Structures are given as C-alpha cells and as structure tokens.
Amino acid sequence: MSDSFERYRCQIALPGFGTSSQERLANARVLIVGMGGLGCPTAQYLTSSGVGTIGIADDDIVSLSNLHRQILYTPEDIGLFKVEVAAKKLQRQNPSVSVIPYRIRISSSNVTDLISEFDLIIEGTDNFETKCLLNDACVLAGKPLVYGAIYQHEGQVSIWNVLQKDGTYSPNYRDVFPDAEESQVPNCREGGVIPTLAGIVGNMQANEAIKYLTHSEDILAGKLWMMNVLNGRTQIIKLKKTSVRIIDLPQTVPVITLEQWKQDQDDFEIIDVRSELEHSQFNIGGRNIPLDELHHHVHLISAISKSILIYCQSGKRSGEAVKKIKEAFPKKKVFSLKGGISKIQL
C-alpha cells in the first residue's frame, strides 16, 4: 500500500482517521445522481480521496451555459454526454478508483435496481421530482442519501435516512419538505446561481459522504446545514421526523428530447404551456395553453388522438402539465420536452 499511502498521506495523518478509514473508503460504493454543478465537485473530491467505486448517473449533455459552474467540463465537451466525459476525466484523476457511468434518466422503473448496488447515494439534481423519487427509494431500501441544493446565493446540505443506534432512521427529505413536489422554486437556469456556491455545496456533500463512510459520529443526520454566500452566514438547524409514511415510489414524468420529437414529429400534437407573451417571443409551434388555464381546455385535450408533447422554458411547467393530463386521461400518451426550449432559444 506504499503508493496509496503516499497519495493519501495527508488524510491518513488526521487524528482518528488512519489506515482503517482509508480502507473503508477504498471498499465503499457510492452513487452520485446528477453530474451538474453539485455532482462535479462531489465526484472530483470523492475520486481524489480514494472512494473505491463511484457510480455517476445522468442523461444530459454538456452545454455552454453549464460551464460557469460545472468546471469539470470544457468548451470541447459541449454536446457530449456528461457521464462519459466525467468518467474519463475522473479515471485519469485517480486510476485506482472504479468509475461507472450510467447514461440514464432516473425514473420510478429503474431507481430501485440502481441504488441497490451502492452503500451511499448522493443527489445533485435540480428538480424536486427526482429529489423526491431518490428520497423515497432510499427510504424504502434503507439507504442513506446525501442531499444538496443551491439557489441564487443560498445552499443546503444534509444526509437523510441514516440508521440510528436505536434502530430508527434519521429524518428524510419529506419530513423536512413535505410539499416539495408542489414547489414553484425556479431551477438554476431560471432563477440564477452564483457559480462558487455549487463548488461549496458539492464539496460539503463530498465531505459528508467521507464522514459517513469513515464512521464519523458528527454527521449531518437530523440536521440541515445552510449557507448564504452573499453575506457569508452559515447555520445548522435540528430536524424532526414526522408521521409521513412512504409506501410506494412516485411516478415520474415521461420525457423525450427535441431530437426524438423531430424524428417523429408528425405523430405528435404539441402544446406550449408558457404564457402568451413567452409564446409570442419564441416558440416551436403548437397550441399555446398556459399551465394555469389547462383545466379550461379538457374537451380539446380529450379530442387529441395523437401522442402529446408538452413544452415550456425549462421542463418544469411542462412536467406539471403532463401530470395533470395523465390524471384526467390515464391512457393518453403524454410527454414533456426534456430541458424545455431554453437550450434552443435564440
């Protein structure tokens, strides 16, 4: 272990760490879901610290607007799949670590099998649907989940669902944010984010993972760490469990990419659920039915015989529209345009 000892000398030298903690890291299997602003620094530091097996799951490609905060990628990577680029770079960073890329969108149909292979799950996603899905899957499987979130100048970190000495589990995402799926908080593209915040929160997630894997007692289970980088303030609040019971996984919204739609666009009826002003400024065709007016057009939607593609700016409103339509018409084939039209808007 001479080469490994030299590489990890500084962390092994920490009081209470030693070679035993390094061996725990080497034997650990960690899954990171989302290779964006949070997933990139998390993956880089877990790779450099010697976590033995790291899975990275994402189905997105690198775009120009990612580069200000997702600093694992370069302009040459634009248009390539994030997990494929990241896996190669992380493997070069530390050849002794096994990096496994999963070029998939996490859904209710694949999440259970995916997380079963790992000891610890880390989520770096930017939508509430996936956060809830991962949380529920981890609760049902008894897996710990490292949570991270960023918005504008504020960030949060915690670790959910940790098995306690008394046999109970620490609070999970739904204990703290029971109405998360109804939240209207914009994502980074819509609401903005200072790039340094992504690095800070991603590193805090990596730090929490290392603490958990090396059996540190002072982890953020039952606590929520919060930071505002605009004024530099941090705080930790204690959390309580609620009576919320998770008995099944939430159904995920079916999506298709713009490229997939273009190949078979004659088979689709498309609906823009943005405002009339947004539609007039830029659109890719179809009817304009704003999300909050959707319930007034039930008869129109019921008469559509083709598959339906819903789009908006980022995919958030279209996802909500798909849920509403599927609730009213369970047998209709309805899809949300992945990522919305923000990436193609001129």
Beta strand pairing call for 255-256 and 233-238: unpaired
- The type of residue at 242 is T
CA distances from 221 to 33, 51, 117, 180 (A): 20, 21, 22, 19
For residue 154, give the amino acid letter. E
List Cβ neighbours of 110 (8 Å cut-off, separation of 6 or more). 104
Residue located via tokens 């997630």: 205
List 40, 132, 138, 312, catalytic entry:
312
Does the annotation mark 188 as catalytic?
yes
- Residue found under tokens 């007692």: 217
Handedness of CA 341, 72, 137, 96 (dihedral sign): positive
40 catalytic per annotation: no
Catalytic residue selected from 40, 132, 138, 188: 188
Q: Judge contact between 198 and 164, C-beta under 8 A.
A: no
Beta bridge mates, 146: 122, 159
Given strand 223-228, what is the order of strands in its sheet?
A: 98-102, 53-57, 29-33, 120-123, 145-151, 154-160, 223-228, 233-238
Longest dimension (CA), the chain: 72
Q: Give residue 147's identity as a one-letter amino acid code.
A: Y
Question: What CA dihedral angle connects 2, 210, 59 and 109, to 10 degrees?
Answer: 120
Question: Catalytic residues, which ones?
Answer: 188, 312
